[in-house]
Structure 1
């Protein structure tokens, strides 16, 4: 008897999305689906549209044309299920990692978002000591990236969006970050489901062990979509 493979729900979906700034098209009629539980890397050179696509999924910018949804709704309605980490660490250099995370946790609570994990738990999850008294401004780049990841992980996201997370990292730090992200995908989701990861990079070799799907972009368009088995 033949069986039919179950249809995976979409964590995020873009349908004919364009983003226009004056005479410049950052995205040009982009359509893509990101299944729940998948790990997708978006590859492309600077200016290809990777960051704009990610920020659209995060609900930080609105499409000029087309439609973006997260878990079947406009992204802003699902913000408590999304976490976005930009290529800038967005941390205060004069504060410790613990002070940074505590501050951002208070901001999220005031914004209607639940911080399920404590700052201490989030820091330990990325291998940082929450009692460390050194300010973030004195951290190595790898430590700063881990602290930045802890900042977004403490919101317990179902959909994690990372913009150039491996930028300026040495080989060892990049490998450690890959391990942390692989571990994140195994975290249980309250009520069932699975964690979804979408990240951008221009370093394909770093994405290989982590991503099941690859979207390649050029000049605001997706020019190729492949899966791990087909690459």
Structure 2
């Protein structure tokens, strides 16, 4: 479980995040929905402990985020792989940095191979991989050390239709296994199909948190796009 309270972050004279608050529960997929510049990526990087907030607090499973790094996995883009390593070597190396026992890593990698259908690429060097293949390895890298809390920044960016569908299936399986999953997106369809809870963000602020049906009920709309626009434009009291 991730609890974010009054989080703010400034870069020079630019306030990127302004008093963002939300809760992401275990066994649920929580979406940070907003346009570019809404503060989604900065918020995720603060939750991951990569950036230090100016103000506010972050609790992960009831503890300060700095004490819980072992229990947080972040996927930020399709970069960061060692191209001279195979998929398996990338996954093993990353998990070993978390001081996971060898046998546990090997078991986790075997499970990830099946879950992500990586049999054809697991022992290939990652140089020249497609975006979808790289995404598989990056997700597999997280699964190799089994963090309870997963943070994904625009996870479907650059993926084709089939890769996107597989990713959705993987995230649902992880949700059913009890993981707390937070992902950022500007794609309304992703929110509608994946999310148990949605935080609408705009200009660095969290405007509202509710389920998809709850947002429809509040706005009187029948599509996420129309509900989002109405919330951002301030047509309802949030």
Residue in structure 2 matched with residue 3 of structure 1 by the alignment: none
Residue in structure 2 matched with residue 214 of structure 1 by the alignment: 198
Structure 2 CA distance for aligned equivalents of residues 39 and 132 of structure 1: 27
CA deviation vs aligned residue, 1:83-114 (integer Å, no higher than 9, x gap): 1111233211222101111211222218xxx8
Contact 1:117 1:155 in 2 (8 A): no
- Residue 98 (structure 1) aligned to one of 85, 88, 92: 88
* TM-score, structure 2 normalization: 0.82
> Secondary structure at the residue paired with 2:97?
helix
Question: Kindly tell me: are residues 116 and 22 of structure 1, through their superposed partners in 2, closer, same or farther at Cα, counting changes over 3 Å?
Answer: farther
Structure 1 CA distance for aligned equivalents of residues 49 and 118 of structure 2: 30
CA deviation vs aligned residue, 1:104-151 (integer Å, no higher than 9, x gap): 1222218xxx85843233222211017744321222211111111000
Structure 2 CA distance for aligned equivalents of residues 20 and 153 of structure 1: 32
Question: Kindly tell me: are residues 29 and 128 of structure 1, through their superposed partners in 2, closer, same or farther at Cα, counting changes over 3 Å?
Answer: same
Structure 1 CA distance for aligned equivalents of residues 158 and 145 of structure 2: 25
Structure 2 CA distance for aligned equivalents of residues 17 and 151 of structure 1: 28
- Residue 138 (structure 2) aligned to one of 110, 132, 148: 148
Offset at residue 18 of structure 1 (A): 0.7
In structure 1, the gaps of 5 or more residues are 1-10, 188-193
Structure 2 CA distance for aligned equivalents of residues 36 and 67 of structure 1: 19
Offset at residue 177 of structure 1 (A): 0.5
Structure 1 CA distance for aligned equivalents of residues 27 and 173 of structure 2: 13
Larger proportion of helix: 2
Q: How many residues align?
A: 212
Offset at residue 154 of structure 1 (A): 1.4
Structure 2 CA distance for aligned equivalents of residues 132 and 33 of structure 1: 36
Offset at residue 229 of structure 1 (A): 2.2
Comparing 131-140 with 94-103, greater Cα deviation is found at 131-140
CA deviation vs aligned residue, 1:175-195 (integer Å, no higher than 9, x gap): 1100011111122xxxxxx31
CA deviation vs aligned residue, 1:167-224 (integer Å, no higher than 9, x gap): 001111111100011111122xxxxxx3111001111212322111111111110123
Residue in structure 1 matched with residue 115 of structure 2 by the alignment: 125
- Residue 52 (structure 2) aligned to one of 62, 75, 92: 62
Cα RMSD for the two superposed structures? 1.9
In structure 2, the gaps of 5 or more residues are 217-238
1:37 equivalent to 2:37? Answer: no
* TM-score, structure 1 normalization: 0.85
Residue in structure 1 matched with residue 40 of structure 2 by the alignment: 50
Question: Kindly tell me: are residues 62 and 132 of structure 1, through their superposed partners in 2, closer, same or farther at Cα, counting changes over 3 Å?
Answer: closer
Offset at residue 75 of structure 1 (A): 0.7
